[in-house]
């Protein structure tokens, strides 16, 4: 028998009778055909001789599934685990499932003997014997808060590094420091950084440059005395586009030797790319037509993956496709339209990966969550609308907002790479070739365009107090860092000295933004005592929306009637609470209840998942004491005093997101003095109250506040006067 990396393994032949082993042996044949298989020896040798490997290779060449298996039996790896990070949970879960099959081992916690598991927000599926762990970047950062030097791992693999989320940039910085300080770990830590479309040279230079910032979490006694508060501007970390930085940090011989490169040539199957001849003014209509063209023209089997901007557009197209599909004659295969976006429950997301019934073509309508890493079995055709929703920090408001933007060449290549994984594929780009040429090469790193509060809190909680000197791959704007520090100070997560407070540490351990974490901690104060209610609302805020969309006036009226019992005068937060608690209290038919109230059953399932996990985490953090109503549903608080307490808790986390009513009837934000309208989806839409608090700022044709409740200005005085002494 052969081991995970294909070498001979001495085992009894009875094992090959086991269905898991049979599958393993079958999959081994296809693994051997992957382009990366030829590079197995080179990759293993690279890490025997170096600490860091930057690995590039085309989409589908086998990086995410094979590299951890190649390394597992290496002598330096035997006593530790391998962590492999993914930008999104859907990729972490599907890759873990696939690799468990390839290794012939049960998945995660299903068996104590399982070798492969995953860990994503609100779901840890590992066992004590897990050796390969797929996890989201955020989860690895969370683990670092508990174990700064990642002692349980021999190797950390950062996959899809080109996505450059803030979390990846933090991990790269921490890993760079860790590799330089491995003496403290006992055994060395190896790092692999991989992608199909990353800027390999920049990454190599980043790791080669001597790290002058020591890692205070590891070696406090060795802190570099030259780093004082008035350190020169030039020594503030960062790399790309920063010539002055290069002048300060020069590679040393030893650090240059620890990094090596490897490139995997070729992909397993070809993918043909087609463009539009002329620009489309109506992308919805063009997408609809192209999907039907492919469906009617192309033989089966061959599923379709369509990349769109967001949940609303996806649901719109799903409805249209399903309507048109009813008119298809029986000579054509049936259509099964499946949405895929982050706010869907895990179970709904996993449906996409199941094979379609016979004579049925799957049409998957996805946001960019399926853009990297995932293999959707059956997909032969990719339709790319060329657009994505991206988070963008709006300085004036001090808030992140979502904007629809053209994707980069790197994203387009990743999307194309979702075809051609199990056979030759085709990619239909719904834009012209000239438009493709005008795209940016790479997406702008998130660190340059997002609110950095979570990142700064993570750094501080991990011991990197001097955030201005953190080794960033790309230097974030100083202004954004200062804004984040100020926000954390307002939340009470930092002391006046800039050090993390006890409260800040508690917030950092919750898998939430600092604002939401602050809300929960406020709710746990004895005088507030409303953690369960607040968890219910926070769970709702973790999905895009629980309310089904209303596209016409008639449907809007119907929705108002259906949701009448749930609507609360104060606005969205308490209405969400009423919805969750009524749903939880429904004992007979929850699906029916959701339909009756025009609420998404799928979203509610997801909310219930998050609610359960958050409750467990709050108990663990002693923010919630186990009591007798545990697990039972309680009815939404009706007395005004309790409702006020809940809203005050939210205000504690969102005091920057407040707008007051002006004499002309508009709302103006306290921060930035910008006009903002209540979003039509809000229960407060059309109402005039003295002030509003909102969770989200949305910019479409104008500035909207979403997730809105009425608040009193005098409550704000309490928040601002608060001494953060929780
Ligand atoms: N869940 C799955 N089901 C079926 N086949 C799979 C699955 N996951 C991976 N594969 C097969 O393994 C191949 C390699 O996948 P892998 O994710 O390792 O490639 P990759 O180089 O990491 O790609 P990318 O850069 O796109 O993430 C795929 O092309 C596909 O043939």
Measuring CA to CA, which residue among 373, 449, 441, 388 is closest to residue 202? 441
706 and 722 in contact (C-beta within 8 Å)? no
Q: How far is the CA of 307 from the centre of ligand 1 (A)?
A: 18
Q: Please state, as a whole number, how many other Cβ atoms lie within 10 Å of the Cβ of residue 257.
A: 13
Distance CA 150, CA 142 (A): 11
Minimum-distance ligand 1 atom for the alpha carbon of 31? 12
Q: How far is the CA of 288 from the centre of ligand 1 (A)?
A: 28
Pocket test for ligand 1, best of 98, 101, 196 (most atoms within 8 A of CB): 98
Give the closest residue (by CA) to ligand 1 atom 7: 375
Minimum-distance ligand 1 atom for the alpha carbon of 268? 29
pLDDT at 556 over 70: yes
Q: What is the dihedral angle through the alpha carbons of 493, 496, 499, 504, rounded to the nearest 10 degrees? A: -10
Reported as type and span, the H/E element at residue 539 is helix 531-541
Q: What is the pLDDT of residue 257?
A: 63
Q: How far is the CA of 130 from the centre of ligand 1 (A)?
A: 21
Within 6 A (CB) of ligand 1 lie 34, 57, 59-66, 94, 98, 196, 268, 372-373, 375, 377, 417, 421-422
DSSP per residue, 137-159? HHHHHHHHHH-TT-TTEEEEEE-
Q: What is the pLDDT of residues 154-171, one digit of tens each?
A: 999 999 999 999 999 999
Q: How far is the CA of 386 from the centre of ligand 1 (A)?
A: 23
Q: How far is the CA of 40 from the centre of ligand 1 (A)?
A: 16
Q: Please state, as a whole number, how many other Cβ atoms lie within 10 Å of the Cβ of residue 552.
A: 8
Pocket test for ligand 1, best of 60, 118, 353 (most atoms within 8 A of CB): 60
Q: How far is the CA of 60 from the centre of ligand 1 (A)?
A: 5
- Token duo for residue 552: 């016409």
- Token duo for residue 398: 């001090």
Measuring CA to CA, which residue among 176, 65, 430 is closest to residue 283? 430
Measuring CA to CA, which residue among 485, 523, 488, 527 is closest to residue 505? 488
The CA angle 120-126-129, to the nearest 5 degrees, is 150
What pairing do the DSSP bridges indicate for beta strands 667-669 and 658-661? antiparallel
Three-state DSSP string of 482-536: HHHHHHHHHHCCECCCCCECHHHHHHHCCCCCHHHHHHHHHHCCCCCCCHHHHHH
Minimum-distance ligand 1 atom for the alpha carbon of 195? 25
Residues β-bridged to residue 678: 705
Q: What is the pLDDT of residues 415-454, one digit of tens each?
A: 999 998 999 999 999 999 999 999 999 888 999 988 899 9
Give the closest residue (by CA) to ligand 1 atom 12: 62
Give the closest residue (by CA) to ligand 1 atom 3: 377
Calculate the alpha carbon distances from 14 to 21, 106, 243, 541 in Å.
Answer: 10, 17, 62, 51
Minimum-distance ligand 1 atom for the alpha carbon of 57? 21
Distance CA 593, CA 351 (A): 23
314 and 366 in contact (C-beta within 8 Å)? yes
Q: How far is the CA of 430 from the centre of ligand 1 (A)?
A: 25
Q: How far is the CA of 342 from the centre of ligand 1 (A)?
A: 20
Q: What is the pLDDT of residues 645-697, one digit of tens each?
A: 999 999 999 998 999 999 999 999 988 888 999 998 899 999 999 999 999 88
Q: What is the pLDDT of residue 181?
A: 72
Q: What is the dihedral angle through the alpha carbons of 551, 555, 556, 559, rounded to the nearest 10 degrees? A: -120
Measuring CA to CA, which residue among 648, 614, 655, 653 is closest to residue 509? 614
Give the closest residue (by CA) to ligand 1 atom 17: 64
Q: What is the pLDDT of residue 212?
A: 52
What's the number of CA atoms in the CB half-sphere (13 Å) around residue 9?
15
Q: Please state, as a whole number, how many other Cβ atoms lie within 10 Å of the Cβ of residue 551.
A: 11
Pocket test for ligand 1, best of 57, 61, 65 (most atoms within 8 A of CB): 65
Percent of the chain with pLDDT over 70: 86
Q: What is the pLDDT of residues 38-57, one digit of tens each?
A: 999 999 999 999 999 999 99
What's the number of CA atoms in the CB half-sphere (13 Å) around residue 436?
20
Q: What is the DSSP letter of 76?
A: G
Q: Strands, DSSP E only, in 150-227?
A: 153-158, 190-195
Q: Strands, DSSP E only, in 287-366?
A: 303-307, 334-340, 360-366
What are the phi and psi torsion angles at 446 (to 5°)? -60, -30
ipTM surpassing 0.95? yes
- Token duo for residue 326: 């009813």
Higher-pLDDT residue of 320 and 122 is 320
> Residue 199 — very low, low, confident or very high, per pLDDT cuts 50/70/90?
confident
> Residue 229 — very low, low, confident or very high, per pLDDT cuts 50/70/90?
very low
Distance CA 213, CA 208 (A): 14
Residues 6+ apart with CB under 8 A from 484: 451, 452, 453, 455, 456
Distance CA 524, CA 227 (A): 39
Q: How far is the CA of 151 from the centre of ligand 1 (A)?
A: 29
Residues 6+ apart with CB under 8 A from 542: 343, 606, 607, 610
Q: What is the DSSP letter of 72?
A: T
Give the closest residue (by CA) to ligand 1 atom 24: 59
- Token duo for residue 610: 């998050």
Residues 6+ apart with CB under 8 A from 52: 179, 190, 191, 192, 193, 207, 258, 259, 260
pLDDT at 115 over 80: yes
Give the closest residue (by CA) to ligand 1 atom 10: 375
Q: How far is the CA of 383 from the centre of ligand 1 (A)?
A: 19
Minimum-distance ligand 1 atom for the alpha carbon of 420? 29
Percent of the chain with pLDDT over 90: 63
714 and 647 in contact (C-beta within 8 Å)? no
Q: How far is the CA of 268 from the centre of ligand 1 (A)?
A: 10
Q: How far is the CA of 373 from the centre of ligand 1 (A)?
A: 7
Give per-residue burial for 112-150: e unless 16+ CB within 10 Å, then b: eebbbbbbbbbeebbbeebbbbbbbbbbbbbbbeeebbb
Minimum-distance ligand 1 atom for the alpha carbon of 422? 31
Distance CA 226, CA 703 (A): 46
Give the closest residue (by CA) to ligand 1 atom 25: 59
- Judged by average pLDDT, the poorest of 166-175, 226-235, 526-535 is 226-235
pTM of the model: 0.82
Residues β-bridged to residue 272: 426
Q: What is the pLDDT of residues 475-488, one digit of tens each?
A: 999 988 998 999 99
Across the chain, mean pLDDT equals 86
Q: How far is the CA of 421 from the centre of ligand 1 (A)?
A: 6
Q: What is the pLDDT of residues 613-639, one digit of tens each?
A: 899 989 988 998 766 444 444 555 668
Q: How far is the CA of 202 from the centre of ligand 1 (A)?
A: 26
Length of the chain: 726
214 and 222 in contact (C-beta within 8 Å)? yes
> Residue 141 — very low, low, confident or very high, per pLDDT cuts 50/70/90?
very high
Minimum-distance ligand 1 atom for the alpha carbon of 421? 29
């Amino acid at each position: 028998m052969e081991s995970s990396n294909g070498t001979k393994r001495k085992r009894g032949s009875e094992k090959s009778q086991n269905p898991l082993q049979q599958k393993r042996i079958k999959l081994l044949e296809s693994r051997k055909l992957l382009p990366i298989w030829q590079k197995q020896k080179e990759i293993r040798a690279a890490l025997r001789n170096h600490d860091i490997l930057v690995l590039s290779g085309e989409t589908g060449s086998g990086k995410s599934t094979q590299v951890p298996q190649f390394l597992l039996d290496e002598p330096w790896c035997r006593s530790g685990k391998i962590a492999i990070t993914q930008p999104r949970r859907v990729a972490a879960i599907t890759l873990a499932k696939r690799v468990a099959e390839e290794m012939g081992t049960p998945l995660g916690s299903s068996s104590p003997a399982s070798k492969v598991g995953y860990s994503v927000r609100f779901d840890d599926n590992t066992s004590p014997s897990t050796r390969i762990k797929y996890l989201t970047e955020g989860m690895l950062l969370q683990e670092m808060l508990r174990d700064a030097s990642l002692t349980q791992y021999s190797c950390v693999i950062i996959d899809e590094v080109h996505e450059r989320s803030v979390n990846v940039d933090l991990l790269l910085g921490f890993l760079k420091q860790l590799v330089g300080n491995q003496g403290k770990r006992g055994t060395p830590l190896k790092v692999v950084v991989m992608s199909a479309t990353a800027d390999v040279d920049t990454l190599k230079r980043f790791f080669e440059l001597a790290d002058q910032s020591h890692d205070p979490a590891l070696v406090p006694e060795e802190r570099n005395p030259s780093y004082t508060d008035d350190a020169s501007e030039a020594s503030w970390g960062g790399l790309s586009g920063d010539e002055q930085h290069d002048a300060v940090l020069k590679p040393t011989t030893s650090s240059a030797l620890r990094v090596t490169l490897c490139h995997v040539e070729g992909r397993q199957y070809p993918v043909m790319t087609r463009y539009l001849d002329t620009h489309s003014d109506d992308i919805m209509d063009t997408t609809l037509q192209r999907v039907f063209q492919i469906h009617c023209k192309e033989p089966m089997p061959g599923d379709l993956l369509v990349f769109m901007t967001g949940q609303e557009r996806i649901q719109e197209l799903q409805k249209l496709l399903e309507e048109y599909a009813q008119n298809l004659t029986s000579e054509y295969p049936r259509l099964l339209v499946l949405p895929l976006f982050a706010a869907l429950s895990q179970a709904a997301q996993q449906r996409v990966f199941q094979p379609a019934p016979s004579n049925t073509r799957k049409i998957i309508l996805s946001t960019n969550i399926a853009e990297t890493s995932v293999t959707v079995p059956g997909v032969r055709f990719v339709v790319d609308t060329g657009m994505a929703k991206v988070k963008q920090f709006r300085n004036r408001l001090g808030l992140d907002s979502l904007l629809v933007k053209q994707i980069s060449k790197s994203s387009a290549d990743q999307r194309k790479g979702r075809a051609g994984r199990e056979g030759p594929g085709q990619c239909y780009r719904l834009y012209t070739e000239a438009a493709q040429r005008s795209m940016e090469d790479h997406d702008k790193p998130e660190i340059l365009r997002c609110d950095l509060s979570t990142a700064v809190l993570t750094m501080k909680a991990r011991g990197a107090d001097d955030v201005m000197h953190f080794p960033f791959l790309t230097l974030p704007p100083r202004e954004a860092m200062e804004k984040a520090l100020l926000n954390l100070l307002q939340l009470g997560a930092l002391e006046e000295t800039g050090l993390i407070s006890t409260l800040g540490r508690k917030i950092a351990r919750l898998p939430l933004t600092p604002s939401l974490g602050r809300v929960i901690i406020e709710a746990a104060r004895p005088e507030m005592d409303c953690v369960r209610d607040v968890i219910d609302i926070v769970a709702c805020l973790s999905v895009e929306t629980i309310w089904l969309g209303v596209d016409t006036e008639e449907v809007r009226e119907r929705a108002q009637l259906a949701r009448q019992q749930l609507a609360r005068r104060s606005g969205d937060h308490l209405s969400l609470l009423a919805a969750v608690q009524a749903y939880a209290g429904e004992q007979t038919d929850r699906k029916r209840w959701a339909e009756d109230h025009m609420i998404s059953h799928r979203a509610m399932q997801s909310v219930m998942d998050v609610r359960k996990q958050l409750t467990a985490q709050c108990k663990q953090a002693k923010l919630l004491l186990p009591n007798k109503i545990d697990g039972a549903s309680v009815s939404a608080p009706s007395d005004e005093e309790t409702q006020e307490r809940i809203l005050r808790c939210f205000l504690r986390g969102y005091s920057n997101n407040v707008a007051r009513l002006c004499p002309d009837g508009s709302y103006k934000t306290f921060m930035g003095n910008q006009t903002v309208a209540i979003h039509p989806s809000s229960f407060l839409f059309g109402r005039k109250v003295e002030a509003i608090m909102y969770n989200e700022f949305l910019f479409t044709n104008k500035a909207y506040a979403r997730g809105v409740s009425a608040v009193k200005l005098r409550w704000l005085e309490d928040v601002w006067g608060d001494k953060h002494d929780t």
